[in-house]
Structure 1
Amino acid sequence: MPKTESNPIDLGTRAADFLLPDANGVLHRLADFDTKPALLVAFISNRCPFVLVIREQFADFARDYADKGLQVVAINANDHEAHPEETLARIGEQAEEFGYTFPYLKDASQQTAKAYGAACTPDFFLFGAERRLAYHGQFDDARPGNGRPVTGADLRVAVDAVLKGDTPAAEQVPSIGCNIKWSAGNEPVWFSKAA
């Protein structure tokens, strides 16, 4: 299956603002989470095999860290006209089915994905209290068909460091997944259809 690696983004980059809806019509913005010492913005999908292999453990991960100070926000930026399984209604169904306790939002314009430099699903952006990028790497080394357990080990180590006020290791393994399904004519400059 085709694979896309997350874009290299400079650590220390400030989190981009957003105003996006969940399936209940509630709008969420970056400032809503100002009181949390850590914020994870995760670009995910309802259809990508790389997300499907981790989604239950990702829901567990979010529950594990909710009381420790981590706010998780998931964003779906895939073109829902070409891929109807990525509609706002289907996002709501996924959130309910897999017990997502965090906002799962729709970026229909794809402008938030562009602002973050998101390239694939899953694509993880972990920010500290000042909303500077501290980690932009993989959940763990599990991939569809590779037989490795889904633990979230890499992301857990990074979150633990941020919550302690430490800096995660600078060497971070990029996330790998399906490329974001950009709508026609909306592809960012870094996007390659061959990816």
Structure 2
Amino acid sequence: MPKTESNPIKLGTPAADFLLPDADGRLHKLADFGAKPALLVAFISNRCPFVLLIRERFAALAKEYAAQGLQVVAINANDPVDHPEETLARLGEEAAAQGYDFPYLKDLSQDVAKAYGAACTPDFFLFDAERKLAYHGQFDDARPGNGKAVTGADLAAAIATVLAGKGVPDRQIPSIGCNIKWTAGNEPVGLSSAA
């Protein structure tokens, strides 16, 4: 199974703005969540085995930390033409089936994925109250077929630290997953859609 590692993104990078729809037709933008002390932007997929492995624990983790002020926003940037399971309608079905209590948005132009520097699914960007990047690493060390328990421990520790108003350690293990399925000709420089 091909694997893509998340891009190195400098901690402290400001969150990029977005205006994206959910399956119900509502538009969501970065400023909608300005009052929250922490924001997790997660690039995910309906089909990637790395996401399928963690999605139940991810939904549970989002619920657990929502009560403490975490806002989660999931974004799907995969090409829905070559990958019909990634259409906006299918996002709504996935959100309902998995109990996602957070917006699950479609980045059809893939401009938001590029603005964040997203490379894979899952790809997690945790921002502090000032919307500066505090954590850009793995969910945990579970991978399809490696037999390790899905805990979300790495991401959970980072969330707890940010909610406590503390800095997350600079040493962060990159996320690994499926590459974002770029629309042909829309790949960031240096990538191909077949990667």
Give me the TM-score of the superposition, normalised by structure 2: 0.98
RMSD: 0.8
Q: Which residue of 2 aligns with 1:165?
A: 165
The letter for the 2-side match of 1:114 is K
Q: Which residue of 1 aligns with 2:127?
A: 127
Q: Which residue of 1 aligns with 2:85?
A: 85
SS in 2 for 1:94: helix
Deviation per residue, 1:104-130 (Å, 9 max, x gap): 000000000000000000000000000
Structure 2 CA distance, aligned partners of 1:95 and 1:36?
Answer: 22
Structure 2 CA distance, aligned partners of 1:117 and 1:26?
Answer: 25
Q: Which residue of 1 aligns with 2:28?
A: 28
SS in 2 for 1:91: helix
Q: Which residue of 1 aligns with 2:177?
A: 177
Q: How far off its partner does 1:189 sit?
A: 1.2
Q: Which residue of 2 aligns with 1:137?
A: 137
Structure 2 CA distance, aligned partners of 1:146 and 1:115?
Answer: 32
The letter for the 2-side match of 1:66 is A
Large movers: runs of 4+ above 3 Å: 192-195
- Contact persistence 2:181–2:193 (CA under 8 A): no
Structure 2 CA distance, aligned partners of 1:56 and 1:164?
Answer: 25
Aligned residues: 195
Structure 2 CA distance, aligned partners of 1:167 and 1:190?
Answer: 32
Structure 2 CA distance, aligned partners of 1:174 and 1:142?
Answer: 13
Structure 2 CA distance, aligned partners of 1:183 and 1:167?
Answer: 36
- Contact persistence 2:183–2:193 (CA under 8 A): no
CA 1:28–1:158 in 2, change beyond 3 Å: closer, same or farther? same
Q: How far off its partner does 1:190 sit?
A: 4.1
Q: Which residue of 1 aligns with 2:186?
A: 186
Structure 2 CA distance, aligned partners of 1:53 and 1:156?
Answer: 17
> Relative to structure 2, which stretch is displaced further, 183-192 or 75-84?
183-192
- Contact persistence 1:5–1:119 (CA under 8 A): yes
Structure 2 CA distance, aligned partners of 1:180 and 1:49?
Answer: 13
- Contact persistence 2:79–2:181 (CA under 8 A): yes
Q: How far off its partner does 1:194 sit?
A: 6.4
Q: Which residue of 1 aligns with 2:68?
A: 68
The letter for the 2-side match of 1:187 is E
SS in 1 for 2:167: coil
Q: How far off its partner does 1:99 sit?
A: 0.2
Mapping for residues 86-105 of structure 1, pairs under 5 Å: 86-105=86-105
Structure 2 CA distance, aligned partners of 1:194 and 1:92?
Answer: 27
Structure 2 CA distance, aligned partners of 1:67 and 1:55?
Answer: 19
SS in 1 for 2:71: strand
- Contact persistence 2:5–2:175 (CA under 8 A): yes
CA 1:156–1:16 in 2, change beyond 3 Å: closer, same or farther? same
Q: How far off its partner does 1:191 sit?
A: 2.2
Give me the TM-score of the superposition, normalised by structure 1: 0.98
Structure 1 CA distance, aligned partners of 2:77 and 2:37?
Answer: 25
Structure 1 stretches lacking a partner, 5+ long: none
Mapping for residues 40-79 of structure 1, pairs under 5 Å: 40-79=40-79
Structure 2 CA distance, aligned partners of 1:175 and 1:11?
Answer: 15
